[in-house]
Structure 1
Amino acid sequence: MSDPVLPPLREVIARHGLSASKALGQNFLFDEQLLDRIAAIPGSLQDRHVLEIGPGPGGLTRALLRAGANVTAIEMDRRCLPALAELEAAFPGKLRVIEGDALKIDPATLFEGPYHIVANLPYNVGTALFTGWLSGEAWPPQWASLTLMFQEEVARRIIAEPDTSAYGRLAVLAQWRSHAKLAMKVHRSAFTPPPKVMSAIVHVTPGAAPAGVSMRMLERVTEGAFGQRRKMLRQSLKGVPGALDVLEALGIDPQRRAETLSVAEFVAVAEALTRKK
């Protein structure tokens, strides 16, 4: 069965009087070839469940539907709902649109089985959503992969290696039990309106979780260590009970700074502290 013939996205936007909302962190993509490339990053989506956040007028949504996905889209901008309703009608039974705030909706309540998350995330909530999806104590998560567009600076922080200026809590959180890679750069000129910064797409898949490590403990350790990243660990971690003793037991020099510790070393510290509780 061939895909329905849709009017150009620019025409849909003009007909509904839509414009990107700065307050909602919106930037629209119109290039269908680019959108199809983004939808292909997770692999085959034929008959797979996909969660999209902030679809706006539905540019990426179209690409996901063309890829054969069953899409659930969460949109809080009521102006975009009529355009998305047209897509629902064009792809019967393949698109479900939920009006609401993605920060307040648990994706696990929307799907019975595994699903992928693919989204051109609104800049103002992207990091908060991402860390929320990574922070569950239960692992592996219900999501099978994350394919997310961020400002390039944020994307670099997610995949950063130790001893670099971009390395911090976000890198540790993304890498300690997941595999994160930079999948594609997207030039600012591809958007309407063009943002002031470049963008990039990060693809994340779950990995094996190290045994005996509490997510909350790891967050506490990294928050302390990177909260005062210019200070030595003996200073930045003194507020975490038992942390300095654990550093000594593991042979980690307390005069080091947070950005010099590998993800594995942070995990080892968190694991030891979890056992001491």
Structure 2
Amino acid sequence: MKSTLSFLLIVFVSVTISCKDRDPGIYFIDQTGLDLYWHHTFGLDKGRYILFGFSSAETQSDEFELKFDYTIKGREILIKLRETVSKGKCPEFPGSWGKECTSNGTVFIPENALSQGQYKFILEIEGRKVTSTLTIDPEKYTIQIPQNDLLSSRISAVYPVPKNLLFGSIGFVGGTDENLARTLISELEKLGLTPVTVPDYPYPDLDAVHSKHLEKEFREPNNYSISILMNLNATDAKTVFEKVAAYYEATDKKLRIGLYCSNNMEQINGGPGDQLTEFYKK
């Protein structure tokens, strides 16, 4: 009898010490699971990449920042929850959220780190693993997650914006300056840019207007814009932006410019009347 009680006491103490030593954020995630939000995008700091955003499937009063590591070996992507960092108590939000919030973390995987085809997409939390299938196609990325209690996602497919596009708009006030905008578009064609069409996919970086070339839009009281969607071909973004800036200056800064490149989100914007601002990949 004494030996049995001693054994149970040892087990109880061991479990208690183990729980105390365990990362409380990871323990919470292990109990509730994760929701996955993911999309393809591009930016000046990271180029073109896939963002995988993980959030706790349930809320609680304490907030944690989730820290992940990832490795790619052959056709296998392993994303591992390494640790969590306490952010303290959740800020209080109005409405049903109250004083509870989710805990979140992100993983950024460069587009050029993946090639066309299927990958095993493995999420690991303290030895527990869920293996999904991530498929990379030129026009669409898809993920298939098996039934499990650790990972879920409402997003099954994302659509990367095609490379080497110039998109955005040229704006003007009233009808008299429309010729200025259209002449600038002709100047871009002289540089070698050509109009292009893209599939009717729900691109996050191209809205319904900017997914088509030469769409004219009106906004009160007297503002117009013409959408731009062109292939850069062999012309680099800097050459295009220098031409746009020179034309803008030569036409008394009457236009409103907002143009972007889908390679690294290089951009030129501003006006009318103000100096244009250019941004390039760091």
TM-score using structure 2 length: 0.23
Q: Which has the higher contact order (CA 8 A, sep 6+)?
A: 2
**Bigger strand fraction:** 2
Could you say which structure has the larger radius of gyration? Answer: 2
